[in-house]
């Protein structure tokens, strides 16, 4: 969505991780971006232009002085048409060139000539990365508005272990989305909850539900992209937490309540996407329950309704709840909106629980009802944020 029809110049320089630029290209094309690959001479030692051009569905540009009459396009034209430039991987040498303002090849010339934002994903040996000259170059470029993503700590191709690995390809694409995203959540402090909770029966068994956390994580990412400060409180989930958000992992409904209520006073917007247990075993057995009787009864008690508590102390905050319904979706969701004093409620069915896709109904406190088609959770998240902003205006 955010990258759709955007002109993205993907600069590839000569590092062993150059092969990952193929995956970055694939991810960008999957989101309908138009990728214009530009390779430096040393990048061509690591991967072939043919692989990159095949995935990008576009020829590779690599020579400042090339005059290909068929598809002639100058560095200035490329620089002008770009909505974004990504350099992945960016070597220490290329970062040095950028920092010094040199323009001795096609890629560095484009970067000097463009007005588009630039994402730089460094990749190098950890000793090189720690070198004060490289640190100073990166600091200078950051100060000038270049957007850095990574590098990360890990095993390096040269046999070292340290900081210098190219950032995860998904993180590089997310940095691209963030650069091109509107910033209408600047100044907002958003508290998001996600995932299921686990209520212990004994040390190895628990009561839980099928929530994956995907919807809440997608909302947290979207808020961050759009400029908010984000706190994500998550029940058990296998998902990777979004970068640059305050992330708190919890297990039970009680822990979720403690953390959410701690962050509540400082929040301007709260989005409760977590599937929090309504009941928990009154007593968790200290030792594993043995199967020595025919029946087992687990007595349960109510947990705190966190969102209802928040609704009672709402003041100027904007509260968004989810309503998971198997029947009478709209009516039940509207009732929850009123009972919990919400501004928006997102009604969905269990079908969306452990899926990439969700079909929701957005209902606001003025009874406006919007039925959305099945959409990827990232898209649902953007729609929810659009509604929040429209109502806050």
Q: Which two tokens stand for residue 43?
A: 């990048």
Q: Exposed, middle or buried: residue 242 (CB in 10 Å: 0-12, 13-18, 19+)?
A: buried
Please report, as residue ranges, which positions from 278 to 317 form the binding site for ligand CTP (by CB under 6 A).
Answer: 278, 303-307
Residue 322: CB minimum distance to ligand CTP, A: 4
> Choosing from 58, 158, 179, 223, which is the catalytic residue?
158
Cβ nearer to ligand CTP, comparing 94 with 322 = 322
Q: Which of 111, 175, 276, 385 binds ligand CTP (CB under 6 A)?
A: 276
Q: Which of 2, 55, 253, 385 binds ligand CTP (CB under 6 A)?
A: 253
CA dihedral 119, 123, 126, 128 (to 10 degrees): -80
Q: What are phi and psi of 73, to 5 degrees?
A: -150, 125
Cβ nearer to ligand CTP, comparing 86 with 345 = 345
Residue 337: CB minimum distance to ligand CTP, A: 10
Q: Which of 322, 343, 364, 377 binds ligand CTP (CB under 6 A)?
A: 322
Residue 302: CB minimum distance to ligand CTP, A: 8
User: Does 89 engage in binding with ligand CTP (CB under 6 A)?
Assistant: no
Residue 42: CB minimum distance to ligand CTP, A: 52
User: Does 245 engage in binding with ligand CTP (CB under 6 A)?
Assistant: no
Residue 320: CB minimum distance to ligand CTP, A: 8
Q: Are 215 and 380 in contact (CB under 8 A)?
A: yes
Q: What are phi and psi of 164, to 5 degrees?
A: 160, -10
User: Does 331 engage in binding with ligand CTP (CB under 6 A)?
Assistant: no
Name, in order, each residue with C-beta under 8 angstroms of 21's C-beta and a sequence gap of 6 or more: 10, 12, 37, 43, 47, 52, 88, 89
Query: Distance (Å, rounded) from C-alpha 128 to C-alpha 157?
Result: 13
Q: Are 214 and 357 in contact (CB under 8 A)?
A: no
Residue 79: CB minimum distance to ligand CTP, A: 47
Please report, as residue ranges, which positions from 114 to 173 form the binding site for ligand CTP (by CB under 6 A).
Answer: none
Cβ nearer to ligand CTP, comparing 226 with 336 = 336
Q: Are 150 and 121 in contact (CB under 8 A)?
A: yes
Cβ nearer to ligand CTP, comparing 136 with 339 = 339
Cβ nearer to ligand CTP, comparing 107 with 324 = 324
Cβ nearer to ligand CTP, comparing 146 with 217 = 217
User: Does 337 engage in binding with ligand CTP (CB under 6 A)?
Assistant: no
158 is an active site residue: yes
Query: What positions carry a catalytic annotation?
Result: 158
Contact positions vs ligand CTP (CB under 6 A): 253, 272, 274, 276, 278, 303-307, 321-324, 336
């Amino acid at each position: 969505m955010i990258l759709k029809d955007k002109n993205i110049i993907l600069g590839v320089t000569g590092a062993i991780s150059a092969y990952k630029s193929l995956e970055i290209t694939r991810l960008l094309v999957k989101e309908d971006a138009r990728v214009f690959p530009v390779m430096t001479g040393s990048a061509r030692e690591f991967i072939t232009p043919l692989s990159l051009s095949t995935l990008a569905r576009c020829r590779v540009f690599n020579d400042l002085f090339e005059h290909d009459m068929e598809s002639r396009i100058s560095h200035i034209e490329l620089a002008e048409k770009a909505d974004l430039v990504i350099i992945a991987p960016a070597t220490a040498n290329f970062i040095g060139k950028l920092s010094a303002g040199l323009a001795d090849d096609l890629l560095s010339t484009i970067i000097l000539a463009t007005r588009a934002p630039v994402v730089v994903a460094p990749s190098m040996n950890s000793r090189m990365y720690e070198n004060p000259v490289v640190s100073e170059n990166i600091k200078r470029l950051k100060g000038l508005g270049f957007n850095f993503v990574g590098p990360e700590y890990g095993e390096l191709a040269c046999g070292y272990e340290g900081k210098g690995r190219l950032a995860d390809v998904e993180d590089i694409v997310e940095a691209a989305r963030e650069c091109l995203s509107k910033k209408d959540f600047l100044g907002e402090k958003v508290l998001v909850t996600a995932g299921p909770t686990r209520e212990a029966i004994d040390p190895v068994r628990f009561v839980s539900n099928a929530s994956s956390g995907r919807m809440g994580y997608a909302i947290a990412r979207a808020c961050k992209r759009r400029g908010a400060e984000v706190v994500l409180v998550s029940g058990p989930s296998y998902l990777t937490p979004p970068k640059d958000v305050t992330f708190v992992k919890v297990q039970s409904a009680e822990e979720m309540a403690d953390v959410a209520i701690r962050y509540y006073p400082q929040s301007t917007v709260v989005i409760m996407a977590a599937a929090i247990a309504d009941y928990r075993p009154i007593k968790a057995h200290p030792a594993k329950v043995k199967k020595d009787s025919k029946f087992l009864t687990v007595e349960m008690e109510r947990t705190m309704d966190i969102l209802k508590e928040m609704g009672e102390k709402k003041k100027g905050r904007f509260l968004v709840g989810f309503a998971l319904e198997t029947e009478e979706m709209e009516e039940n969701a509207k009732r929850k909106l009123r009972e919990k004093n919400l501004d928006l409620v997102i009604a969905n069915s269990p079908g969306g629980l452990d899926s990439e896709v969700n079909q929701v109904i957005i209902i606001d406190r003025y009874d406006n009802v919007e039925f959305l088609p099945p959409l990827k959770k990232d898209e649902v998240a953007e729609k929810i944020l659009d509604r929040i902003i429209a109502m806050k205006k």
